[in-house]
Amino acid sequence: MKPRTTTWHNLSCEKVFWTLKTDKKGISEKEAKLRLKKYGPNKLPEKKGATIIGLFISQFKSPLVYILAIAGIISFVVGERVDSAIIFAAVAINTLVGFFEEYRADKSLKALKKIVSYKAKVLRNGVQKEISAVEIVPGDIIILDAGDKIPADARLFEEHNFEVGEAALTGESSPVKKSLKALPENKILAERVNMVYAGTLAFRGRAKAIVVQTGKETEVGKIASMLREFKEEKTPLQESISRLARKLTYIIAVISLIIFALGIFEKKDFLEIFITTIAVAVAAIPEGLLISVTIILILGMKKILKDKAMVRKLVAAETLGSVSIICTDKTGTLTEGEMRVVGVHCCGKMTPLNEIASSKECSTCLEVLRAGLFCNDATFHLDKENGNQDIVGDPIEKALLLAGNETGLNKKDLNKKMPRVDEIPFDSAVKYMATLNKLDSGKNTVFVKGAPELILSLSKNQKVNGKTKELDQKERKNIEKGLDKLALQGYRVLGFGFREVDKKERFSGNDGLVKNLTFLGFVVFDDPLRPGTRESFNLAKQAGVRPVIVTGDHKFTAIKIANQLGLPTKEKNVLTAEDLENMSDDELRKRIKGIDVFARVEPRHKVRIVAAYQAKGEVVAMTGDGVNDAPALKAADIGVAVGYGTEVAKGAADMVLLDNNFKTIVRAVEQGRMIYENIKKVVLYLLSDSFSEIILILGSLVFFLPLPILPAQILWVNLIEDTLPNIALAFDPGEKEVMNEKPRKRGVSILDKEMKTLIFIIGIFTDIILFGMFYYFWKTSGNLEYTRSIVFAGLAVNSLFYVWACRSFRFTIWHKNPFANKFLIFSTIFGFLMLFIALYVPFFQNVLRTVPLGVFEWSVLVVFGILNIFLIEIVKYVFILRRKKIK
């Protein structure tokens, strides 16, 4: 083989075949294995390293760390070694925890994104196979259809209306028309129209090509090192949380200054009040907020993935919870998508499939099935490993292939006799597929299959019992009636027609070729509903999410399916493509409320549908599979690509449905709501924690009391005891009752009235209790060190208690299963352990200036901790009652 520095666009196809020792049938599996070893896997080199160090360094770039470091140095210089050591320990803990959490989050996010490796179609020894794109080698023949991602650099040798979007590589936004002829060597990349390049997207038509370069040798591979790494944008919630955190930081800074000024005014020891100020600031600034939100979003993505949907962007994990409309495809998403031919409808009647072979009277039936084999790209494929016959291809075409076989027709034989010379691939925008097949008679035949009304309207004649007759108005009406009857039963119906044309004619040279057809008949398919879809529809409705069917299929078929799913859909609840065409956007907005089904729509209509809903303030999820669906998927709040969909659709989507199932969308919405609630829980806990700590210190100064707690003790509670419970809340399993409520409105603040009240109440109750204890024990004992130990323990015990109340906004604490969150149990136990260490281990007694507490003090602490929970639960309950009333 030649060295791989050759250019390929200037060579003839034959030369390329010869150079790469391959042919139109492709290389053998054995050869492919050898080449894979030689050239390596077809993937781009990954960057790693540097980022870990970068992440670590970034931990030090926070105002919090600066404040702490300065405070640490000052205390060291003035000789407060213990305080200084504690402060530096706090810095270390803070950065390490931050680093590990962010590192883990980053790693899981990357892992989540890697999961969908895409497939490519290759010919090996003449057999078409789907393999992982990583396994492609130079010399492979790849088959490219509209919507495919191009897996490697390749030279085209066959194409039909083939167009490729190369924006990723050349920046050119309009699709490039491809051709086959060899080009002058000096052509630049963007002009090498006989080549396709890895990472670009097939937009139209279909083609075959010889792979010439793979992996890092491809054009993208060569510039990969220049490409910036994709950076995840912050989600609106992350944005608003960081804004909140920033705002709080300023507020806390101001309060800290007030505390400091008050302390100086009251002539407290300068160093003591200085370090206290710092400790309060550190304790109150909710630095863990943002990373907790990120962790919750990622955990949610993982759970959704377990349910078989892959969320591609963090922001989608968040938006999912507020989805209020789900526009779903019918075929394959609501139904199984595994079609079966029930029979053929022609010559005015329906013949069941098993009677066609034996029926002597109707030869047209067989002609319909024959057309179904010509207009067909599905193929039998023998799996060498288990000896099974598989069929690869479109579900409709698979069913046609099987039906042909059952009636004794053979696609291979037919195509040998009348080979295909040209084709128009199926496109959901035109709703048909056509092939041009060679005849011996000096004429060629066009076969067309597609949406039945369309085929009928393209036909001039019809074939009845082997004879061609004109298709007059009366006949048309009859056939349409037959079609409606079939559709009303929920069958999927496809129409077939043909036409003889001159030998020279080709599709590309003549737009009018698919016209004046001779109508053959319908094939009737059965496509049963997926089990459980009806239940999912009900769940969605119960959750205030409206499911809407948006299908390319016949109106009546769609109505029947909608009824089967429990929607009371009548004709007036349906809009067809025709209705949409005759309707302004304004009108659509007015009518859209009562619509359950959009039928016979083209992908471009989907964009209008999304826009109309969005204009009404709805948050829309929309499914799609084809190239043309990409704009609608982008426009929707949650674009959902089905798993069997094209790479283009997947690229435009926010979520990929790995199992194609509607149920999974509803599950993801449920998860989205749980994600949002967990974020609320964390915010509630962290902010009430901050609030109570600030008020405690500020209050003592306002009332001219001695400091009720020492700086080191505050840091201990905040950094050592409360970090884990906070993370544990992120892991709290959601409540399925989220699906009993209406979707959250777009853009509402996470700090709603209930949250603010709860934060305030929790903080105030905790402080009242702590002040009460402080005052009582100080007055009765006169021992400040002892009293502070009690307040310190009180602060710790309280937050370890009320974290349990933060687990639900819907249920009181005694209605929650305490064992559902093992991590929280562990964190609480760990928190108490740390408290015991602080109180009873001599070394820490020394450092934290604590004294051991006895049974009496502990009893008081526990009683007050429980009392605090009671108070919080009463407030929660008031809100629960109020919500019930509103409903």
**What residues act catalytically?**
329
- Residue from 213, 214, 518, 551 that binds ligand ADP (CB under 6 A)? 551
Q: How far is the CB of 205 from ligand ADP (least distance, A)?
A: 15
Structure tokens at 30: 């054995």
Please give the C-alpha separations between residue 610 and each of 559, 586, 614, in angstroms, as whole numbers.
Answer: 21, 13, 6
Q: Does 608 participate in binding ligand ADP (rule CB under 6 A)?
A: no
- Residue from 19, 95, 331, 557 that binds Mg ion (CB under 5 A)? 331
In one-letter notation, the amino acid at residue 277 is T
Site size for ligand ADP, by CB under 6 A?
18
Q: How many residues does the chain have?
A: 887
- Residue from 72, 205, 321, 552 that binds ligand ADP (CB under 6 A)? 552
CB count within 10 Å of CB 842 equals 8
Cα angle, residue 378 at apex, residues 383 and 384 outer, rounded to 5°:
5
Q: Does 850 participate in binding Mg ion (rule CB under 5 A)?
A: no
Candidates 54-62, 430-438, 667-675, 735-743: pick the segment binding ligand ADP (CB under 6 A): 430-438
Q: Does 707 participate in binding ligand ADP (rule CB under 6 A)?
A: no
Cα–chain center distance at 175: 27
Candidates 69-77, 331-339, 446-454, 554-562: pick the segment binding Mg ion (CB under 5 A): 331-339
Site size for Mg ion, by CB under 5 A?
1
Q: How far is the CB of 588 from ligand ADP (least distance, A)?
A: 20
- Burial of 421: CB neighbours in 10 Å, binned 0-12, 13-18, 19+: middle
Q: Does 431 participate in binding ligand ADP (rule CB under 6 A)?
A: yes
> Given the complex with ligand ADP, which of 362 and 558 has the nearer CB atom?
558
> Given the complex with ligand ADP, which of 287 and 397 has the nearer CB atom?
397
- The C-alpha atoms of residue 672 and residue 674 are separated, in whole angstroms, by 5
Q: Does 200 participate in binding Mg ion (rule CB under 5 A)?
A: no
451 makes contact, choosing from Mg ion, ligand ADP, none, with CB < 5 to 8 Å by partner type, with ligand ADP
Contacts of 134 by beta carbon, 8 Å cutoff, 6+ apart: 41, 42, 43, 117
- The C-alpha atoms of residue 517 and residue 499 are separated, in whole angstroms, by 5
Q: Does 206 participate in binding ligand ADP (rule CB under 6 A)?
A: no
Q: Does 553 participate in binding ligand ADP (rule CB under 6 A)?
A: yes
Q: How far is the CB of 426 from ligand ADP (least distance, A)?
A: 4
- Burial of 89: CB neighbours in 10 Å, binned 0-12, 13-18, 19+: middle
Q: Does 328 participate in binding ligand ADP (rule CB under 6 A)?
A: no
- DSSP code at position 33: H
- The C-alpha atoms of residue 250 and residue 233 are separated, in whole angstroms, by 25
Structure tokens at 600: 């016979």
Q: Does 483 participate in binding ligand ADP (rule CB under 6 A)?
A: no
- Residue from 278, 451, 514, 773 that binds ligand ADP (CB under 6 A)? 451
Largest Cα separation within the chain, whole Å, is 115
433 makes contact, choosing from Mg ion, ligand ADP, none, with CB < 5 to 8 Å by partner type, with ligand ADP
- Burial of 737: CB neighbours in 10 Å, binned 0-12, 13-18, 19+: exposed
Binding mask 360-399 for ligand ADP (x = CB under 6 A): ----------------------------------x-xx--
394 makes contact, choosing from Mg ion, ligand ADP, none, with CB < 5 to 8 Å by partner type, with ligand ADP
- Which residue, among 418, 396, 408, 411, has the nearest Cα to 500 in the 3D structure? 418
Q: How far is the CB of 431 from ligand ADP (least distance, A)?
A: 4
In one-letter notation, the amino acid at residue 685 is Y
Candidates 323-331, 356-364, 406-414, 704-712: pick the segment binding Mg ion (CB under 5 A): 323-331
Binding mask 520-549 for Mg ion (x = CB under 5 A): ------------------------------
Q: Does 433 participate in binding ligand ADP (rule CB under 6 A)?
A: yes
Q: Does 455 participate in binding ligand ADP (rule CB under 6 A)?
A: no
Q: Does 333 participate in binding Mg ion (rule CB under 5 A)?
A: no
CA-derived radius of gyration, the chain: 35
Candidates 326-334, 438-446, 662-670, 808-816: pick the segment binding Mg ion (CB under 5 A): 326-334
- The C-alpha atoms of residue 786 and residue 383 are separated, in whole angstroms, by 79
- Identify the helix (H) or strand (E) that includes residue 93: helix 81-114
- Residue from 135, 217, 307, 329 that binds ligand ADP (CB under 6 A)? 329
Q: Does 242 participate in binding ligand ADP (rule CB under 6 A)?
A: no
- Residue from 256, 331, 536, 828 that binds ligand ADP (CB under 6 A)? 331
Contacts of 743 by beta carbon, 8 Å cutoff, 6+ apart: 321, 322, 323, 324, 543, 544, 545, 619, 673
Q: Does 551 participate in binding Mg ion (rule CB under 5 A)?
A: no
> Given the complex with ligand ADP, which of 642 and 871 has the nearer CB atom?
642
Residues 729-788 contacting ligand ADP, CB under 6 A: none
- Residue from 62, 170, 379, 428 that binds ligand ADP (CB under 6 A)? 428
Structure tokens at 333: 């998403």
- Residue from 8, 274, 432, 802 that binds ligand ADP (CB under 6 A)? 432
Q: How far is the CB of 599 from ligand ADP (least distance, A)?
A: 9
Instruction: With beta carbons less than 8 A apart as the criterion, state whether 147 and 649 touch.
Output: yes
689 makes contact, choosing from ligand ADP, Mg ion, none, with CB < 5 to 8 Å by partner type, with none
540 makes contact, choosing from Mg ion, ligand ADP, none, with CB < 5 to 8 Å by partner type, with none
Instruction: With beta carbons less than 8 A apart as the criterion, state whether 486 and 343 touch.
Output: no
Long-range Cβ contact pairs of 94-100 (< 8 A, separation 24 or more): 94/59, 94/64, 94/65, 94/68, 94/287, 94/719, 95/56, 95/59, 95/60, 95/65, 97/288, 97/723, 98/59, 98/287, 98/288, 98/291, 99/55, 99/56, 99/59
396 makes contact, choosing from Mg ion, ligand ADP, none, with CB < 5 to 8 Å by partner type, with ligand ADP
494 makes contact, choosing from Mg ion, ligand ADP, none, with CB < 5 to 8 Å by partner type, with ligand ADP
- DSSP code at position 232: P
Please give the C-alpha separations between residue 713 and each of 276, 651, 686, 707, in angstroms, as whole numbers.
Answer: 10, 52, 18, 12
Candidates 71-79, 176-184, 197-205, 323-331: pick the segment binding ligand ADP (CB under 6 A): 323-331
Q: Binding residues for Mg ion, per CB under 5 A?
A: 331
Q: Binding residues for ligand ADP, per CB under 6 A?
A: 329-331, 394, 396-397, 426, 428, 431-433, 449-451, 494, 551-553
